Amino acid sequence: MSLQIIKSGLLDTIQDQGRYGYQHLGINPGGAMDRFSSQSGNALLGKDFNSPVIEIHFPAPIILFQKETIICITGADFSPTINHKKILNNQPIAINENTVLQFEKMLSGARCCITILHDPDLDKWLNSYSTNLVAGAGGFKGRALKKGDILNFKNNFDCKYLAAEKDFELLPWKASETFTSKKEIRFIKGSEWDWLTDDAIKIFAESNYKILNNSNRMGYRLQGDALKVKEEIQLISSGLTFGTIQLLPDGQLIVLMADHQTTGGYPRIGHVISADLSMLAQCNPGNEIKFSSVELAIAEQELIQQQRGLQQMQTASKFKIEKLLSNISTPGGF
Amino acid sequence: MAYFHKMNLNELTISPLGDSAILLNFENKIDETLNRKVLRLFHELQKKSFPFVKDIVPAYSSLVIFYDLLIIKNKSPVNKTYLEIVTDQIKNILFEDIEISSLSSRKIKIPVCYSEKYALDINDISKEKKISVDEIIHLHTAKKYRVYMIGFLPGFAYMGEVDERIAMPRRAQPRTIVEAGSIGIAGRQTGIYPFDSPGGWQIIGKTPQKIFDKEKNDPVLLQLGDEIEFYSITEDELTNN
């Protein structure tokens, strides 16, 4: 026994960077909504970016750690505490055995990632740990975590003494970059962009779009003035991606998120750039966003830059973690 | 800066699908020849197994290739976008002679119980199309269907084309739950729901065949290019299966 769910949250699932290679079978990639934050949690613990994390929403779960480990909380700020003492996001924390992680209130963002140094003892389904709720496969028994679930730890790093006699110890490094909540979401034009009327293009560029309540891991529905197309053409079903902005028959928009279908038949007027998906994933219903157009080259550069930053953080953290674990024979010292 | 929003190559339109995928589109049309071309491209791309290709999504008459920018190490020439580099690398495949006839398709027979109890919309179709229920069953089982694409749900095969006489538009009000195994018609397409799911297709029967099985290495029964035939079974055969 290593970790136990004392109380489940709204939707707590195991996610990694997605299940790729199976979309031709209709099996969507899924994966963490906020790819950047789930990667940065792993990076801060020196782990592979694709290691599984627990993605939580608010109301958040209460988790009992039965065994010492190092954790890192990234993404949304749900004011995390350990044994009721406040801890910080974006900083690795050595925690003692029998400590309780819980979250007091939703301060910013929509989804929070819990990364644990010890990998949970789970089997991959089709090469990924991500939970596919439709297929009931992957992650923890193909479903959201619930009260009483126990996740055992796989690897055997000895983290005794790191927190000494205390409940936890903040480790002396943290992320320099975290997700920012900006209203402006950048996109590149989609293959059906040219279908929009001049008026529709103007409305799209100038509108503040409100994210509606029926938004979820599959997609965000947006509220704004209806966009018109030059002529009504039936589009044959075709591939989609995380971030695709689809135009519905009533002129409203939906942005596809992590659990989107693999194919669809609505016009793709644009695609949110990968580097800004993290910001969008942290938006809650009721938040407003505005789209701004960028060129593909910029989108590519931004993504590469974001990934390089994460890689640097991962390399540096890995070195620190290894040093920490090798010094562990000296009780309490690091 | 070299940048394209859309580009025509051979008979294909190439455009970015976001910053990490490329859309190759033949024509906006359901056509067996185009679908064979898509399937051939899909097989060629799988065979070549480019290290940067993460996923390939073939559809009726288009194909999306997901790629990993970070794996494309040598970004040269530097003024090109990653999309253009990927396009350059796959260009040869696009121009290769198309031998679509060489692809043989698997043949699969699917048992269907067309009893009213499971064929929730068969009476409506009968009234609307002025055709008997027996004739609907006959027409649905008389044809061989091609799996044009898989999408919507894991393992949901879009098959075509059904006889014009039983082609029905989607229901105006989609059902909140369609049972797994239900056989539906939408336009000239027919399909099988692999899971209980919301759905708007006109339901004409149910199969006991498992369409999706997560325990299998190959979890999806019907695959792109397969040739499908339906045959009628009784209620007993459905429930005792």
Residues of chain A with CATH 2.40.100.10: 184-294
Residue B143 burial (10 A CB sphere; 0-12, 13-18, 19+): middle
Q: Which residue of A has its CA nearest to B46?
A: A21
- Domain-located, residue B53: yes
Weakly modelled stretches of chain B, pLDDT under 70:
1-5, 10, 73-76, 97-103, 241
Nearest-CA distance B151 → chain A (Å): 4
User: Chain A residues with CB inside 8 Å of B223's CB?
Assistant: 25
CATH superfamily of A184-294: Cyclophilin-like (2.40.100.10)
C-alpha–C-alpha distance, residues B189 and B192, integer Å: 11
Query: Among B67, B64, B86, which residue's Cα sits nearest to residue B149?
Result: B64
Which candidate from B21, B23, B220 shows the least CB-CB separation from A25? B220
Task: Name the token pair of A322.
Answer: 């290894």
Quote the pLDDT of residue B1. Answer: 38
The string of DSSP letters for A64-132 reads EE-S-EEEEEEEEE--EEETTEE--TTS-EEE-SSEEEEE----EEEEEEEEESSPB----BTTB---B
User: Chain B residues with CB inside 8 Å of A234's CB?
Assistant: 28
C-alpha–C-alpha distance, residues A218 and A133, integer Å: 11
Task: Name the token pair of B213.
Answer: 């099985």
- Domain-located, residue B20: yes
Domain count, chain B: 2
Residue matched to tokens 């990364």: A115
Q: Which of B23, B55, B80 is the mutation pick for testing A, counting most A CBs within 10 A?
A: B55
Quick one: average pLDDT of A323-330? 74
ipTM: 0.94
Nearest-CA distance B134 → chain A (Å): 31
Helix axes B32-48, B82-95, angle to 10 degrees: 110
Q: Which residue of A has its CA nearest to B67?
A: A20
Q: What per-residue string of b and e applies to A47-57 under the rule 16 or more CB within 10 Å gives b?
A: bebbbbbbbbb
The string of DSSP letters for A259-300 reads T--SEE-S-EEEEE-HHHHHHHHT--TT-EEEEEE--HHHHH
> Which among B102, B130, B157 is the end of a domain?
B102
- With an 8 Å Cβ cutoff, are B70 and A262 in contact? no
**Is the pLDDT score of A331 beyond 50?**
no
Phi-psi region of A332 (alpha: psi -120 to 50; beta: other; left: phi over 0): left
Domain shared by B49 and B124, yes or no:
no
Residue matched to tokens 């495949």: B93
Task: Name the token pair of A89.
Answer: 């996001």
C-alpha–C-alpha distance, residues A220 and A281, integer Å: 9
Domain that holds residue B165: 107-239
Domain shared by B12 and B89, yes or no:
yes
Query: Among A269, A214, A212, which residue's Cα sits nearest to residue A243?
Result: A269
Domain shared by B200 and B112, yes or no:
yes
Least confident of A140-144, A195-199, A258-262, B12-16: B12-16
pLDDT tens column, A100-114? 999 999 999 999 999
- Domain-located, residue B122: yes
pLDDT tens column, A172-197? 999 976 777 678 999 999 999 999 99
Phi, psi (rounded to 5 degrees) for A273: -70, 145
User: Chain B residues with CB inside 8 Å of A262's CB?
Assistant: 57, 150-152
- With an 8 Å Cβ cutoff, are B69 and A271 in contact? no
pLDDT tens column, B49-69? 999 999 999 999 999 999 999
